[in-house]
Amino acid sequence: MSLMAGTPRFLTLADVAEVLNTSSAQVYALVRRGELPAIKIGGRGQWRVEASQLEDFIQRMYDETRTFVDEHPYVDAEPRGE
């Protein structure tokens, strides 16, 4: 079941920032770079992110992180006690 169940179909950038525990400015940057698909609506051009797009983005970030971790294994700088 989706974590976004019961949420509106479209979220404001502030809503997305709350879900991701980051700033609205960071979400805006993700949208403007094309990393997080969004639409611009209304005369004032307010940005909205579809909840399903946010879920897809989160999954992509997990996938990218998993790949990064696999390609860059953590090496403990100090050997453990013998």
Residue 4, CA distances (Å) to 7, 33, 42, 43, 57 in order: 6, 24, 24, 28, 13
Q: Which helix (H) or strand (E) holds 25?
A: helix 24-32
Q: How many residues appear in the chain? A: 82
Question: What is the per-residue pLDDT across 5-26, written as a single tens digit (0 to 9) for each?
Answer: 677 999 999 999 999 999 999 9
Q: Name residues of the chain where pLDDT drops below 70.
A: 1-5, 80-82
Rounded to two decimals, the pTM is 0.80
- CATH code matching the domain that covers 10-71, chosen among 3.40.50.300, 1.10.8.60, 1.10.3720.10, 1.10.1660.10: 1.10.1660.10
* Residue showing tokens 């770079």: 33
Neighbour count for residue 23 (Cβ, 10 Å): 12
